[in-house]
Amino acid sequence: MTVCYIVGAFLVAVVVLYGLLELHYFLRTFLSVLLARFCKKKVHILQETVVKGICLTSDIDTFLYHMNNARFMRELDFARADFYERTGLFRTIKAKGGSIAICATTIRYRRFLKLFSRYFITSKLLYWDNKSFYLQYKFITKGGLINAFVIQEVKMINCTCESILESISQRIKQTVKKPEPPEFLVKWIEGNSNLQDDKSASITTITTM
């Protein structure tokens, strides 16, 4: 009888946790970090990392046919955790007393990710300035088809990118040379800068009865 109470209490606790927290998300994040830290090979900061995924029933949209657009963005969290851990980027930022914030993301959807289709997410550091890293992600399915293309700006807080790269260079005993930004990224950065500096946006007050 005691065992039944214990099992029942455990099940209730799981249900409550799922109700209060998106437990599956936190478990996957923890697993991503764990695998990257102990089971996967460490890579150079400029190398591309790859994680695998599959479109499950919990990922599909109301048409019950393909991955919901919002799920693409969520999957990036796991790919980014893998990249941070395998390159040592996040650990270096924390050692410097800094933190990070995602301040801009643009995604280009090119093809559906159908139910139960397997895919890869590649993550690559394209460029950095003094305040932000610029990452590129690709969702790729069988045959090398790119289903989605993403650019993301990761802003540093309480530290600079140059100081982070200097620490990484000392750790790997190799100078990390800043790559030239591709033309599309230069235009993307410029466009985001113009949007941030735009003073024409007005605040609209909505009155409800």
Tens digit of pLDDT for each residue in 137-170? 999 998 899 999 999 999 999 999 999 999 999 9
Rounded CA-CA distance 136/124 in Å is 5
90 located within any domain = yes
178 backbone dihedrals φ, ψ, rounded to 5°: -70, 125
pTM for this predicted structure = 0.85
207 located within any domain = no
205 located within any domain = no
Tokens 């949007």 map to which residue? 195
Q: Is 50 exceeded by the pLDDT of residue 45?
A: yes
Rounded CA-CA distance 198/56 in Å is 41
Find the range with the poorest average confidence among 4-8, 11-15, 20-24, 129-133: 11-15
69 located within any domain = yes
108 backbone dihedrals φ, ψ, rounded to 5°: -115, 110
202 located within any domain = no
Give the residues across from 49 on adjacent strands. 123
Q: Is 70 exceeded by the pLDDT of residue 14?
A: no
150 located within any domain = yes
187 located within any domain = no
200 located within any domain = no
DSSP letter (8 states) at residue 40? S
* Structural domain span for residue 103: 8-178
The count of structural domains within the chain is 1
